[in-house]
Amino acid sequence: MATLTLQQIRKTYPNGYRAIHGIDLTVTDGEFIVIVGPSGCGKSSLLRMIAGLETISEGEMKIDDRLINGLEPAQRDIAMVFQNYALYPHMTVYANMAYGLRNRGAPKAQIEEDVQRTAKILELEPLLARKPAQLSGGQRQRVAMGRAIVRDPKIFLFDEPLSNLDAKLRVQMRLEIKKLQRQLGTTAVYVTHDQVEAMTLADRLVVMNGGVVEQIGTPMEIYERPATPFVAGFIGSPAMNFMPGQLHGRQLQMGERMIDMGLTTDYRGSVLVGVRPEHLHREAGAPHRLDMHLSMIEPLGADTLVYGELTEGRENLVARINGHFKAGSENSMRLHFSERDLHIYCEQSGQRLN
Amino acid sequence: MVENRFGLRLLSHAVLWLGVLLVALPLWVAFVASTQAEGDLVSGTLSLWPGDHFLDNYRAVLFGAADVSVNVSVARMLLNSLIMALGIAIGKITISLLAAYAIVFFRFRARMLSFWLIFITLMLPVEVRIMPTFEVVANLNLLNSYVGLTLPLIASATATFLFRQFFMTIPGELLEAARVDGAGPIRFLFDILLPLSRTNLAALFVIMFIYGWNQYLWPLLVTTDDHYYTVVMSVQRMLAVGDADVTWHRVMPATVLAMLPPVLVVVLMQRLFVKGLIETEK
Amino acid sequence: MHPIPVFRHRWLPWALLAPQLMVTLVFFVWPALEAIYQAFLVQDPFGMSSRFVWFDNFIQLFEDPKYFESLVSTLVFSAGVTVLSMGLSLLLAVMADGVVRGASVYKMLLVWPYAVAPAIAGILWMFMFDPTIGIVAYALEQIGYHWNHRVNGDEAMLLVVIAAAWKQISYNFLFFLAGLQAIPRSLIEAAAIDGARPFKRFWTIVFPLLSPTSFFLLVVNIVYAFFDTFGIIHAVTHGGPGTSTTTLVYKVYHDGFIGLDLGGSAAQSVMLMLLVGVLTVVQFRYIERKVQY
C-alpha cells in the first residue's frame, strides 16, 4: 500500500548538466507506471533518484506521507531490478535473495520462509543452490525479480530490465512481470526506451524528453491524443506522418484542400498536421483523400507498409495497409482518411489544437 | 612453429633441457654439499652424488646453534622468516586493499593527493633511503623486534594499484544493488568485494610472501640480537668467518632450508604465482 | 552518463587510508626528506654536530673518482645481467613456445629460481665457483684456467653477474612466453605461406611484435640490477675485491653504515632517488599505453 509523490523534482549534476527540469508526478497505490523516452531524456536519472542512488537537487519526494529526499536506498523500502541484473556473482540464488533480508536483521526462519515462497512464485526452487554464472539469461532475470519481490517492498523499480534478453524471452518476461505485479498489487515504476514494453505494461505512461515530462496518461490516451508532436512521433510504429497546414478557425487548409475540423479555437496560422500510418486507408470509406508517389513496399504479413512522397508537398509518408498489397505498374496511389484521425499542433508552441 | 619437423622439435627439447639443467645445477650442487661430511667439504673435488650425512647435517643446524658465529637454530630462523613473510604479506595486502577501497569507492577531498603520495613509494625502495629509515626505526625503538622487521616494509603502491585496477572492473550496479539491499560501505567490503577479490588476494599473497621471505638488507640492519635473525640473512652471517674456514656442511643445509619454503610456494601454487606476477607488473 | 557510483561518508575513507598513509609518511616520505636534508649537511661521525654546506656533498661526490668507478661498475653489472638473462630467457621462451607438448612442464622447471632470495642465489653460485671446492672452478682448473674471484676483480664481477642473471631468468622467461603466446597464430601462418623460413619469421614477425614485452623487461631488469641485487653483492663479494663490484646501491650502504659518512651517503641516496624517479616515469609511460587509469 504505497503512493509515490514527486513535486517539482529537479536534478543538476555537479558539472552543471541539468538532467531533469522539474517533474510533478503522483503514482497511486498499486499502479504500474512506465517512464519512456529516448536515451538521455532523464528517465534513468529520475528512477535512480526515486531509488535514492542519486541525490535530489530540488523538490520533494514522498512515499505515502514520508519525505524520502535524504534517505538511503535501504531506508526507502523500495526494491530495484537492474538492467544487468546485478546479481552477486559469488552468492547462490538463495543467498542473493536472502541478502537484503539478512541486512535488515530478519530472523533466519523468516528469511527461509520468504525466500522459499518467492522461489515458488517464480519457479526458482530447483535453482536455489546455483550461482548466477550457472543460470541462463532468463533465469538470471527471474532471480533479479525474486530478489526484489522477496523483500515485499512498497515500490518496485525497474531499470530497463528486459533489454539484455532476446526478443522471444523479452515478450515472455514482459507478460510475467505484468502478471506478477497484478498479483502482488505492489506499486511499480518501470523505465524503458521500448515503446511496445511501455504500451503493454503501463497503467499510466510518462513520456519524457530532454528532462521534462511531455505527457502523462494511459497508453490509449497517449496513443489517441498525443499532447505534443514529440509524443505523437515517439509513440506508435511506424512513426506518425506529419504534414504542414494552415488553420483558419474551424477550417484546416492542406494544400488546395479545406477540411472542416469543427474546432472552437481562435488560432489562425501555420500548424503541423499528423496522421498515423494505420489511419490512411485504400478503401474509399473515409471522406478525405491524398495522393502519394510510391517508393518502397514492405510486406509484414498481416499488414503492408507503403512508403512514398505526398504528390503535392513532397513530404515523406508511410501508410499501413491491411492485408496483402501488390503494386501494379502504377507508381502512385490514393489514400483516404477521416478528419477524426488528424492531430493538429501549433507550429510554434507545439501545443495540441484539437 | 608451423612446420612440425622432427629435427626442429628435437632441437627445442634439447635446448630446453639444457636450460632446465643449467638452472637446476646450483640447487643440486647445494643439496649434494649439504649431505656431505665436514671433512669432504674442506678441499678436493666435490662429489656429484649426495653423501650420507643428510640427517646429521640438517638435524645439527635445525635444532642446535646454526654455527659458531650465529648462536641460534635454523628452526628459530625459519620461524622468524615465516613471521616476517606473513606479516609483510598480510600487512601489505590489508592496508593496500583498504586504501584502494577508499580511493575507488569514495569521493573525498585530497583523494588524488593520497593516491600520488602512495604512488611516490614506488620511487623510494629501501635500498636508496637506508640510513634515514634505519634512524626512524631506531628512534621508534623498533630494532630487534618483529614490528621493526615488518612494519616499515608494508606500504605498497603496487598492491594498491592492483586492487584499484580490479575494483574499477566491478560493475557499478553491484554496488547499487547492495545499497538497495541495505549494505553500507563496511558490509559491501566484507560481503561482496572481498569474496570477489579472492583469487587476486591469493595471487598477491604468493608474490608478497616471497618478497617478505627474501628480504635481506632490512633484517641485516634492524637485527643485532641473534634471536630475531631471519634465515636468508643468517646464511651470509654464517659465511662471515674472517680468516677461518667456512663451515660448508652447516652453511649448505641452512641455504637449502632458506630457499625451500618460497620455492615450494611457487611450485605448488604456480597458477596463482604466475597470475600474481603478471598482474602486479601490468 | 552516470559516474561510478560511490558511497558517501565523512570520515570512513580517511580511516581506510590511514594505515597506508601513516606507513608511507613515517617510513618512506619522512626518511626520504631526511635524506635530502642530510645531503646538504656535513656531520661528524658521532652525530654531535652538523653544518649546512649547500651542494658540497654533491660536488665532492662528482669529483670523487670512486663514485665514477662505482657508476661504471653498476653499468657493467646491469648490462651484463640484462643481456645474459634476457638473452637466455628469450631463447628458452621461443623454444618452449615451439614445442607442442610439455611446455607447462618446462615452465614449472624454469620458474622456481624466482623464489630464491638474491643473497641465496649469490651463495649458491659462490659455492659453485669456490676456488678450493667449487665444481666450476675445478672444471676450469682442468682446462688450465685458474679461477679466483677473491683476488680477480673481473672474475668477481662475472660471478655476481651470473648469479643475478640466473635468478632473473625465470621472470623474463614467463613474460617472454606470455608475450609469444599472445602473438596470433594466423600471423605466423601467414608469414609461412609467404615463404618465410622459421629463422627469418622470428626476426621479421615475432621479434618486432615482441618489442613491447622486451622494452618492458628491459626496464624491469635494469631496475632489478640497480636496486634488488644488493644481497648478491653483499653476500658474495662485499663490493670487492677492492671496489671492483661496488655498485651504487652497495656504496650507499657501505659509505653510510661502514664509513659513517652520513652526508656523502645521503647525497648518493638523493642521486639514486632521482634515478628511480626517471625509471619509474619511463615504466609508467609504457604502462599508460596498455592500461587505462
Domains of chain B and any CATH numbers? 34-281 (1.10.3720.10)
Residue B191: its chain A contacts at CB < 8 A? 88, 99
Query: Looking at residues A49-66, what average pLDDT do you find?
Result: 91
Taking the C-alpha atoms of residue B63 and residue A352, their distance in angstroms, rounded to an integer, is 97
Nearest residue of B to residue A50, measured between CA atoms: B180
Cα separation, A78 vs A27, in Å, equals 14
Report percent pLDDT > 70 for chain C: 94
Q: Is the pLDDT of residue C1 over 70?
A: no
User: 3-state SS string over B35-103?
Assistant: CCCHHHHCCCCCCCCCCCCHHHHHHHHHHCCCCCCCCCCHHHHHHHHHHHHHHHHHHHHHHHHHHHHHH
Would you say residue C76 has pLDDT above 90? yes
Among all residues of chain A, which has the CA nearest to that of C1?
A: A40
Cα–Cα distance, B84 to B148 (Å, whole number): 10
CATH class of A4-232: alpha beta
C262 and chain B in contact, CB less than 8 A: yes
Q: Which three cell numbers stand for residue A192?
A: 524503458
C292, pLDDT greater than 60: no
Q: C31 falls in which pLDDT band (50, 70, 90)?
A: confident
Q: What is the pLDDT of residues C145-196, one digit of tens each?
A: 888 888 888 999 999 999 999 999 999 999 999 888 888 888 878 877 877 7
Instruction: Express each pLDDT in B206-257 by its tens digit.
Output: 989 999 999 998 998 888 888 889 999 888 888 877 667 778 888 888 999 9
Residues of B whose CB is below 8 A from A78:
180
All residues of chain B having their beta carbon less than 8 Å from the beta carbon of residue C174 are 274, 277-278
Q: What is the pLDDT of residue B102?
A: 93
Task: Tell me the fold of A243-346.
Answer: OB fold (Dihydrolipoamide Acetyltransferase, E2P) (2.40.50)
Q: What is the DSSP string of B204-249?
A: HHHHHHHHHHT--HHHHHH--SGGG--HHHHHHHHH--TTSPP-HH
Q: How far apart are CA A226 and CA A234, in angstroms?
A: 9
Strand order in the sheet with A241-248: A257-260, A251-254, A241-248, A268-275, A343-346
Q: Residue C47: its pLDDT value, please? A: 63
How many whole angstroms separate alpha carbon A220 and alpha carbon C94?
A: 70
Taking a C-beta distance cutoff of 8 angstroms, is the pair A352, A226 a contact?
yes
B40 pLDDT tier (thresholds 50, 70, 90):
confident
- Looking at chain A, which residues constitute the CATH 3.40.50.300 domain(s)? 4-232
Residue A134 has pLDDT above 60, yes or no: yes
Q: What residue spans of A185-282 are helical by DSSP H?
A: 195-201, 219-224, 229-234
**Grid cell of C253 as nine digits:** 650502504
pLDDT at B4: 59
Residue of A312 and C164 predicted with greater confidence = C164
Task: Choose the mutation target among A77, A82, A104, A163 for the interface with B, i.e. most B CBs under 10 Å.
Answer: A82
CA distance linking residue B67 with residue C152, whole number of Å: 29
Q: If pLDDT is split at 50, 70 and 90, which confidence band does B44 have?
A: low
The pLDDT of C31-41, averaged and rounded, is 84
Does this model's pTM top 0.80? My answer is yes
pLDDT in tens, B54-84: 888 888 888 877 777 777 888 899 999 999 9
Question: In the predicted model, is pLDDT for residue B101 greater than 90?
Answer: yes
Give the three cell numbers for residue B213.
621471505
Those residues with Cβ within 8 angstroms of residue A57's Cβ, 6 or more apart along the chain or in another chain: A10, A11, A12
pLDDT in tens, A267-285: 888 899 999 999 998 887 7
Of the residues A15, A48, A49, A53, the best mutation for testing chain B's interface (the one with the most B CB atoms within 10 Å of its CB) is A53
Q: Which of C188, C218, C221, C222 is nearest to C205 (CA)?
A: C188
Is any Cβ of chain A less than 8 angstroms from the Cβ of B187?
A: yes
Confidence bin at A299 (pLDDT 50/70/90): confident
Residues of C in contact with A53 (CB under 8 A): 5
Digit-coded pLDDT (tens) for A73-87: 888 999 999 988 899
- Amino acid sitting at position C175: F
How near does any CA of chain B get to the CA of C230, in Å?
7
Q: Which helix or strand (DSSP H or E) is residue A252 part of?
A: strand A251-254
Residue B182 with chain A: CB contacts under 8 Å: 73-74, 100, 103-104
Identify the structural domains of chain C with CATH numbers, from first to last.
Answer: 65-290 (1.10.3720.10)
pLDDT tier for residue C287 given thresholds of 50, 70 and 90: low
Instruction: Choose among C121, C110, C169: nearest CA to B267.
Output: C110
Q: What confidence tens digit (pLDDT) does each residue in C208-263 have? A: 888 888 888 888 898 889 888 899 999 888 887 888 889 888 988 888 888 777 78
Compute CA C92 distance to the chain's CA centroid, rounded to the nearest angstrom: 20
Domain(s) labelled CATH 2.40.50.140 in chain A stretch across 243-346
Percent of the residues in chain A that have a pLDDT greater than 70, as a whole number: 99
Give the pLDDT of residue B273.
83
Which of C96, C116, C125 faces B16 most closely, judged by CB atoms?
C96
Q: What is the ipTM of this complex?
A: 0.87
Residue B276: the pLDDT is 79
Q: What is the pLDDT of residues C44-65, one digit of tens each?
A: 666 667 777 778 888 888 888 8
Kindly give, in sequence order, each residue whose CB lies less than 8 Å from that of residue C33, ignoring residues fewer than 6 positions away. none
Burial class (CB in 10 A: 0-12, 13-18, 19+), A21: middle
State how far Cα A228 lies from the chain centre: 15
State the residue for C-alpha cell 615450494. B264
The two most distant CA atoms of chain A are separated, in Å, by: 77
User: A147: number of CA atoms within 13 Å, CB side?
Assistant: 31
pLDDT band at C288 (very low <50, low <70, confident <90, very high): low
- State the Cα angle at A277 between A272 and A283, rounded to 5°: 115
| Per-residue burial over B258-267, b = 16 or more CB atoms within 10 Å of its CB, e = otherwise | bbebbbebbe
Non-local CB neighbours of B261 within 8 Å, separated by 6+ positions:
B78, B81, B82, B85, B213
A-chain residue closest to C7, CA distance: A53
Q: Which of A40, A45, A53 lies at the smallest CB-CB distance from C5? A: A53
Sheet containing strand A316-322, edge to edge, reads: A316-322, A303-310, A288-299, A332-337
* CB contact (8 A) between residue B177 and residue A89: no
Query: With an 8 Å Cβ cutoff, are C5 and A44 in contact?
Result: no
For residues A107-119, give the mean pLDDT.
93
Question: Is pLDDT of A339 > 80?
Answer: yes
Pull the grid cell for residue C145: 684456467
Q: Which long-range contacts (CB under 8 A, 24 or more apart) does C136-140 make?
A: C138/B45, C138/B46
State yes or no: pLDDT of A68 exceeds 80: yes
Q: pLDDT of B173-202, one tens digit each?
A: 999 999 999 888 999 999 999 999 988 898
Higher per-residue pLDDT: A335 or B242: A335
